[in-house]
Amino acid sequence: MLHAVNLTKKYQESLALDNLNLSIEPGDIYCLLGANGAGKSTTINLFLNFIAPTSGKAIINQIEVSKDPQAIKKLIAYIPENLVLYNELSGLENLEYFVGLAGMKYHEDEMVNFLQEAGLQDEAFKKRVKTYSKGMRQKIGVAMAIAKKARVLLLDEPTSGLDPKASNEFSELLLRLSQQNVATLMATHDLFRAKETGTDIGIMKSGKLVEQLSTEQINHSDLEKLYLNHMNS
Amino acid sequence: MLSLNILHETRLLSRNYWFISLSMMLLALCLYAGHNGMKHFERRQLDLQAAIENQVAKEQVVQEVALALSKGEEHPSSFRLSPTNVAIATGRLATMPATEMSKLGIGQSDLYAHQLKITSREDLATMSFNELTNPVQLLFGNFDLVFVITYLVPLIIIAFSYNLRSQELESGRLKLLASSPIRTNLWLLQRFIIRCCSLTAILTVALIVTALWIGVALSSQLLVFFLITYAYLAFWFAISYLVNILGSSSARNSISLLSFWIVIVLILPAVINQAANSIYPTPSRVSLLNEIRETKKELSEAQDQVLDEYLRNHPELIRNEGENAFGYWQGYFASQEIMEKTLAPLVDAYDQQLEKQQKWIDAWRYLSPAVLFQDGATQLAGTSSKNYNEFKGYVKSFSLNWRAHFMPFVFDNKMLDLDDLDNIPEFEYRSSIGASGIWINISVLLILSVLMALRGLGLEGKRQLL
């Protein structure tokens, strides 16, 4: 579903991403761990075609991202660390707009269902987004992914700054989407959430993927030790 | 995507108090500017009315004398029927009536005379136009609707659109938008078009309300005025669109757009004018007036000699009633014509330089869309330099006819009768400056707007989002 083949990104002399190879299949939740500047966000930006690779390929659903970005963007949903919506519009109106940009049109009842599915409280639907908490805004992002019928989710530190309850709710939503065969690539600093939610984990350091493993292979404390070993080496 | 963006922008703008305040401010500005235009129009009409009444009264007296004499009655003011009295004292009034459209743009009407008494005493070189005015007003113009649209509306457009893309980029929302299967530059263009239409609608309402209030009727000229206004708005939105695409931050966009405003609205018009003055300098007006005075003095001192010379050139006017048949006035009329011929090269040189300056400005006006708009709008209002030059041409031509008409009467020493009075030339000014030249201005503004929009669209994918 989602493949990086020798994916490299250089900025003048600095190497932001070095020969990355990874594969994510439908239903997988691949968590990229690493310090700031490790190359996690660069990887996601390359899959979104926000930046062009220096070499290598980012492939989604057998289509090279840089060759046909419009086709790719019909398949993906993106939730950044801080989902900025139009504050003067309600959650429902924001959903309608962003889903509309993806070329989809739904009746209000259907959009209410998407918001409910994403876990947003009913009374918030028609309130202006400027009154929303961060967790509520992230749920709008999930509702967008559901409404878009996205096959791939690209998440850039989506739980950063969320309280544990909101973070847990977000993880549950990801798991539900995973059961619907959605492939997820999530950059995160949250080791606990990565172990709980992810199917696979990749540890990045200085633009390189230094470790790949299945979450079933490791427990929480070993994951933390492994991560710290890589960071300290 | 267009209908979605229309709904989206409508929602955003209707909830934006700043936009609502801006609309109210625009309406207030238009009403105030319209009020100024109306007051100027009224003053001009009052001046004209007073001059006409004064002229009618003078002509009435002459008519009354002629009527009395035609009935064989005596009249103490019979001298009024002498050709010199009618030609010099009574004269004719040359008027350039103000159109309703002039309420929209005062233009040159506060600089130039729009009524002139044509007499045989008139110096053609000096009959133009009083240049005394407030220098600050000269620099910025009057606060009329044309001023509001030329100078202030572009600033409102800049305030309204400078950060349409950069705000999305700076907030991080652009990444979310760009993750949708859209062409971001097309999406942005649609938002600009919708904003342009919104501001156009508000300005149209403000202009219609103002036009109704100040009594400008709906006419084809008013519609063309709206069209050139829309084209000017489109230009400013297009330039803002391009700056949004090329710029990376709101601060940089605002500075770039304000710099464009300064260059297009202030610097380029001044440079074009200054270049015209430098390349085609006009002789000093003071020197011209001094030269006229000197020549006049010399000719009046040698009036007898002048009359002899004049009669040598016009033998048809020689009468055989004796040497005393021609006196002061014949000499005066003859000296006027000779003076005109003597001064013609000087006056022509002055006029030709002015004409060359005007042609230069016409040719280079395409450099500044502000000049294109102002030129077109004041032409529609009938207060542009072109209108006044045309009026000046009419006045010059009529003035020559006027003296030529009275020459035979003066040399015949013949008093005028009722029939002669009926045959005195009438002044009539009909402007031939229509809207045809304005279509070029509108087309240029629209072409520039479309080119900038296409350039913006063409940059899709060539500039990385991050």
User: 175-204 in B: which are within 8 Å (CB) of A?
Assistant: 175-183, 187
User: 311-330 in B: which are within 8 Å (CB) of A?
Assistant: none
> Which of A88, A101, A154 shows the shortest C-beta gap to B177?
A101
Contact (CB, 8 A) for A4 and A58? yes
| pLDDT at position B315 | 66
Q: Name the residue type at position A98.
A: F
- Contact across the interface for B175 and A78, Cβ inside 8 Å: yes
Contact (CB, 8 A) for A95 and A147? yes
- Contact across the interface for A48 and B175, Cβ inside 8 Å: yes
- Quick one: pLDDT band at residue B316, thresholds 50, 70, 90? low
Q: Does B466 touch chain A (CB under 8 A)?
A: yes
Mutate to test the interface with A, among B3, B4, B179 (most CBs of A within 10 A): B179
Contacting residues of A for B181, CB less than 8 Å apart:
70-71, 73-74, 101-103
pLDDT tens profile B357-401? 888 888 888 889 999 998 899 888 888 888 888 888 888 888 888
Nearest Cα of chain A lies from the Cα of B152 at a distance, in angstroms, of 28
Q: Spell out which chain A residues touch chain B, with contact meaning CB-CB distance below 8 angstroms.
A: 45, 48, 50-52, 70-71, 73-74, 76-78, 80, 82-86, 88-89, 93, 97-98, 100-103, 154
| pLDDT at position B304 | 64
d(CA B97, CA B45): 8
Contact (CB, 8 A) for B188 and B241? yes
- Quick one: pLDDT band at residue B133, thresholds 50, 70, 90? very low
Strand pairing category for A2-11 and A55-60: antiparallel
- Contact across the interface for B464 and A71, Cβ inside 8 Å: no
- Specify the higher pLDDT residue, B27 or B111: B27
Residues A25 and A70 in one domain: yes
Q: Which SS3 state, helix, strand or coil, does residue B112 take?
A: coil
Mutate to test the interface with B, among A101, A126, A131 (most CBs of B within 10 A): A101
- Decide if pLDDT at A36 tops 70: yes
Q: Which SS3 state, helix, strand or coil, does residue A120 take?
A: coil
d(CA B61, CA B67): 10
Residue B126 is encoded by which pair of tokens? 């000096």
Nearest Cα of chain A lies from the Cα of B110 at a distance, in angstroms, of 48
> Which of A74, A76, A97 shows the shortest C-beta gap to B4?
A97
Strand partners, B87: none
pLDDT tens profile B250-305? 999 999 999 999 999 999 988 888 888 888 887 777 777 787 778 777 776 766 66
What are the strands, taking DSSP E only, across A12-103?
Answer: 14-24, 29-34, 55-60, 63-64, 76-79
pTM for this one?
0.85
ipTM, interface predicted TM-score of the complex: 0.90
Please provide residue A52's backbone torsions phi and psi, each rounded to the nearest 5 degrees: -95, 140
> Which of B4, B12, B465 shows the shortest C-beta gap to A101?
B4
Strand partners, A46: none
Q: Does B17 touch chain A (CB under 8 A)?
A: no
Dihedral (CA of A100, A104, A108, A112) sign: negative
pLDDT tens profile B16-46? 888 888 889 999 999 999 999 999 899 989 9
Count other Cβ atoms within 10 Å, centred on residue B443: 12
Residue at which a domain ends, from A144, A163, A180: A144
Q: What is the CATH number of the domain that holds A192?
A: 3.40.50.300
- Specify the higher pLDDT residue, B87 or A202: A202
Q: Which SS3 state, helix, strand or coil, does residue A66 take?
A: coil
- Quick one: pLDDT band at residue B142, thresholds 50, 70, 90? confident
Residue at which a domain ends, from A102, A125, A144: A144
C-alpha closest to that of A92 among A125, A119, A67: A125
Q: Name the one residue in this structure whose structure tokens are 């003067």.
A: A88
Segments forming the whole domain that contains residue A187: 2-75+151-232
Contact (CB, 8 A) for A159 and A170? yes
The total number of structural domains in chain A stands at 2
> Which of A51, A52, A101 shows the shortest C-beta gap to B182?
A101
> Which of A50, A71, A88 shows the shortest C-beta gap to B465?
A50
Contact (CB, 8 A) for B190 and A97? no
- Specify the higher pLDDT residue, B341 or B168: B168
Contacting residues of B for A45, CB less than 8 Å apart:
466
Residues A47 and A91 in one domain: no
Strand pairing category for A183-188 and A152-156: parallel
- Decide if pLDDT at B213 tops 60: yes
C-alpha closest to that of A124 among A108, A136, A138, A111: A136
- Decide if pLDDT at B324 tops 50: no
> Cα separations (Å) of B310 from B13, B328, B347, B398, B413?
77, 14, 21, 22, 17
Residue at which a domain ends, from A125, A144, A163: A144
Residues A6 and A34 in one domain: yes
d(CA B218, CA B129): 32
C-alpha closest to that of A40 among A56, A22, A55, A54: A22
d(CA B372, CA B365): 6
pLDDT tens profile B144-195? 899 999 999 999 999 989 999 999 999 989 999 999 998 889 999 999 999 9
Residues A43 and A101 in one domain: no
- Contact across the interface for B178 and A102, Cβ inside 8 Å: no
- Contact across the interface for A51 and B466, Cβ inside 8 Å: yes
Nearest Cα of chain A lies from the Cα of B165 at a distance, in angstroms, of 14
Give the residue extent of every domain in chain B: 1-283+337-466
pLDDT tens profile A92-135? 999 999 999 998 999 999 999 999 988 888 899 999 999 999 88
The DSSP call for residue A151 is: S
Q: What percent of chain B has pLDDT over 70?
A: 88
Q: How far is C-alpha A155 from the chain's CA centre?
A: 1
Residues A94 and A58 in one domain: no
Q: Which SS3 state, helix, strand or coil, does residue A220 take?
A: helix
